[in-house]
Structure 1
Amino acid sequence: MVWVKNMEPIIKVENLTYAYPTSKDFVLKNISFTVNKGEVLAVIGPNGAGKSTLLKALNGLVPHFYGGKYGGRVIVSGFEVLNTPISKMSTKVGFVFQDPEDQISGLALTVWEEVAFGLMMLGYPREEIDKRVKEAIDYVGLTGLEKRSPFELSGGQMQRLAIATVLALRPEVIVMDEPTAQLDPLGKYEVLSVIEKLTESGSTIVLAEHEIEEVVYFADKMLLLDKGEAVAYGDTRKVVTMVEELKRRGVDPPSVTELTSLLKEKTGVDVALPVTLEEAVKIYSELLR
């Protein structure tokens, strides 16, 4: 089944401006964008660009938990974040942290208990908990590890567990803050496979990422931040092919995109810039005929 994206915005951010209470400098400056139901938005940019802060504004941690100076509007699933408590927003927006250990409760002895923990706190009946936990564990590929301690898992397994705890709550939006940043190559592959599976099933995802080589395969749109400002926003191909702009902002374009851009510059050959390896193979095969 092919998922058809809904063109109705589920996230609408208008002129979002924010400064932490301990700082005079704004870390977000007049940010605006929309995300439709079923879309994936990748928020990219160098360290310190404001990516994590922006994500925290989607579930209400900014400004309700952190305080500070806040301006503009953030509306998620019909709720204006500024006027909605975090407890309510947490049922609409699931948050996956960069470090999975920050997400693990520390109170659960097993993987199964960890996934069930949030549902138990919300008072779901046992039958519903069992159903959701099994579905979430199966979805992220942790079947067979239900009785293992969360702290005996590999980095990739632990991050998939963190995703499972979010999926069990069935949020309308999933927010991920550089979920592969602290993982080895195998762990990155495992987590990216789950994210790609989520995108194919029509999940609405906002993903912060510094490295974009893999994200281009499933992101519908990209928002490039630098020093709290939106430098570029739009279709993934449009943003990714802004090679010099990305490099100037401290973001590495996909290797094939940068290489082809250099080829065009040096030889004048007229070809479209590829954004994936598969596209590059096709383009170069045609050039070599």
Structure 2
Amino acid sequence: MTTMIDLKNVSYRYPVSDDFALKNVSFSIEKGKFTAIIGNNGSGKTTLCNTIRGFVPHFYKGDLEGDVIVDQTNMKDYQLGQLGEKVGYVFQNPFIQVSGVKDNVFEEVAYGLENLGVPVEEIKVRVEEVLKLVKIEHLREKNPFELSGGQRQRVALASIIVMDPEILVIDEPTSQLDPIGTEHIFDIIRLMKERGKTIILVEHKMDLIAEYADNLLVMHEGQLVMQGPVREVFANPAFEQYQIQYPHVTDIALQLQKSGIPLSFLPIRDEELADALNMTGGVTHD
């Protein structure tokens, strides 16, 4: 399997800070994998995302140590323009992502392709496809600034997806959305995974992470303290010390264990609880 992202002993300090925001971080992400970054506020999640997308060090400057390798090329050898085509970034706040220079959703989604000099007919085809994919065809003539938060987040995702980057870095896309809006966003992320995109997601909703992600990176005070397949990380007793929320069903299962009720395995998805309570065996989970 091809390694798309490889960090080797990466430490980073912002220009105005005495402390390192990232401290000796090392991990690899394979092509097509969905990796979630979790941790409490101030743990370094967003800084890590900015490192993967090249804003560290190209835009924020500061002191970067170690190696950041994206698709076999060291970050120091990229220009930001090159990275923009390879790594798509979706902000936590969709209001930031809207350009402000286009009058309707169709033109907003097309804006990035225009900047790349893509032929007009190709732009039309690609934008139409993406509007259908994220289910916002009905918004095509709407002003982006007149949309709800959930609608605007889908426009923001469409604006990145239409560029067809190999890597998607998505920073807390559902933090301002209701459950229906959240479901719509994760449907889009699932489709991107099915298309073979490499996805890095920062998210606090652990139930959704347990449902969709392949691997977890756990950040704490700038350090990568745990990493591995989602189920293995949640089942590791060391996870509890970082005071990060578990998936709801996992939290319930842990309370049951503490009460003396045996489980055949630690469930991370709601539908697994009945199997975990069934001690007859024969059920395996990936």
What band does the TM-score fall into relative to the shorter chain?
over 0.9
What SS does structure 2 have at the residue aligned with 1:280? helix
Give the structure 2 partner of residue 276 of structure 1: 269
The residue type equivalent to 1:155 in the other structure is G
Q: How does 1:103-142 map to 2 (within 5 A)?
A: 103-142=97-136
Q: 1:20-70 CA distances to partner (integer Å, 9 max, x unpaired)?
A: 000010010111111111101100000111000000111110111001110
Q: How does 1:159-178 map to 2 (within 5 A)?
A: 159-178=153-172
Q: Would you say how many aligned residue pairs link Structure 1 and Structure 2?
A: 280
Distance 1:36 1:85 in 2: 23
| 1:158 partnered with 2:152 | yes
Pairing partner for 2:247 from 225, 247, 254: 254
The answer to whether the Cα contact below 8 Å between 1:140 and 1:164 also exists between their aligned partners in 2 is yes
Q: 1:1-20 CA distances to partner (integer Å, 9 max, x unpaired)?
A: xxxxxx21111111110010
| 1:121 positional shift | 1.1
The residue type equivalent to 1:213 in the other structure is D
Cα 1:270/1:278, change in 2 over 3 Å: closer
Question: Greater shift after overlay, 75-84 or 85-94?
Answer: 75-84
5+ residue gaps, structure 1: 1-6
Pairing partner for 1:88 from 82, 85, 90: 82
| 1:270 positional shift | 3.9
So what's the TM-score if we normalise by structure 1?
0.93
Distance 2:193 2:64 in 1: 31
| 1:287 positional shift | 5.8
| 1:77 positional shift | 1.5
Distance 2:205 2:7 in 1: 24
| 1:193 partnered with 2:187 | yes
What SS does structure 2 have at the residue aligned with 1:224? strand
Pairing partner for 1:216 from 187, 203, 210: 210
| 1:78 positional shift | 2.1
Give the structure 2 partner of residue 265 of structure 1: 258
The residue type equivalent to 1:15 in the other structure is N
Distance 2:174 2:122 in 1: 30
So what's the TM-score if we normalise by structure 2?
0.94
What SS does structure 2 have at the residue aligned with 1:272? coil
Identity between Structure 1 and Structure 2 (%): 40
Distance 2:153 2:240 in 1: 29
Post-superposition, which runs of at least 4 consecutive aligned residues in structure 1 deviate over 2 A?
244-248, 281-284
The answer to whether the Cα contact below 8 Å between 2:263 and 2:276 also exists between their aligned partners in 1 is no
Give the structure 1 partner of residue 23 of structure 2: 29
The residue type equivalent to 2:191 in the other structure is K
